[in-house]
Amino acid sequence: MERILITFFDVKDIEKEYLYKYKPENCEFIVISDPLHKYIDENIDKVKDSEIISVFTSTNAPGNLLKQFPNLKLVTTRSTGFNNVDLDYCKEHNIPVVNVPKYGDCTVAEYAFGLLLDVMRKITFSYLNLKEGIINIQSNIGHDLMGKTIGIVGTGAIGCHAIKIANGFGMNIICYDPYPKEEMKLKFNVKYVSLDQLLTESDVISLHAPSTKENFHMINDECFNKMKKGVIIINTARGEIMDTQALYKAIKNGIVAGAGLDVLECEDILANEDQYLIKVDCIRHECLSKTLINHKLLEMPNVIVTPHVAFDSVEAVYRILKTTIDNINGYLSGNVINKVN
């Protein structure tokens, strides 16, 4: 039987042993640490015969890159999100795209509360002050979570786990989601409200909505103007859900007292600035302005920014890989699972 070539991009060291251990028979693996869009220009001949490619969120996979794989039959994303893959191209060429629909419920929710505690109790701020020899008890005073109202936007798997954690902290929980979870209402005394009501009543707002066309900039100038003065914003979902410029203005105007952000708009530029500066003419104008604001956010003492790592725990990585291998085995057996297009 002819061996099937499968190429994995964006592979961390921790993933390699697992992938080879559970490699399906009659498959050949190529494992590459670089994202597809960085690797492919000079190395396409090494991987062009791949029937399956597997990518992570750090890969951009537009149609003009995917077409360089003439034998491509399946794209598997090692993530829940798949907006980095050109679904229109894949659909046009009958290439299924599959994802990992569930792997980081507790992982991302726990991280969101790590950011929240950091911002509310000024943990990083206090630590950095101490490193500079500054001990100012008054400037380090924070706020309790108990008794505060948290507004959770999006009650999918991650949002529901965030509800469980918030309940443990003794918070009042209100949620916005077009599809309310009745079991969460009953078990955790959750109140589902309109987005407007959530914005006006919440002391903390944590975003757990997916990145869709409908959700683009769902948190914008109009939304910030409805919020309580002193609200805390946490975003571990996707940067595009919140208007970066609107957030910056709300922080400067004192509406938002602090923010914990694991995701940003145009975040890939921050991670690869040297590469983008060489090709600055290729960067969209709106991304240039957002990158400037991102740098200003990094300078703010009441803002914690991390590089899109909320999903990244050892346990979550292994859950991702298990589902990815299951997705590949499904395709090989003629039963494509977790298809998104």
Residues marked as catalytic: 238, 267, 308
Determine the Cα–Cα distance for residues 96 and 92; give it in Å rounded to an integer.
10
Bin 56: left if φ > 0, else alpha if -120 < ψ < 50, else beta.
beta
Determine the Cα–Cα distance for residues 237 and 117; give it in Å rounded to an integer.
18
Buried b or exposed e, range 321-331, using 16+ CB within 10 angstroms = bebbbbbbebb
Determine phi and psi for 102, rounding to 5 degrees: -150, 115
Residue among 290, 243, 234, 282 nearest 266 (CA):
290
Tell me the two tokens of residue 153. Answer: 């936007």
Q: Which long-range contacts (CB under 8 A, 24 or more apart) does 123-130 make?
A: 124/304, 125/301, 125/302
Residues in contact with 315: Cβ distance below 8 Å, sequence separation at least 6, in sequence order: 107
Tell me the two tokens of residue 137. Answer: 């008890």
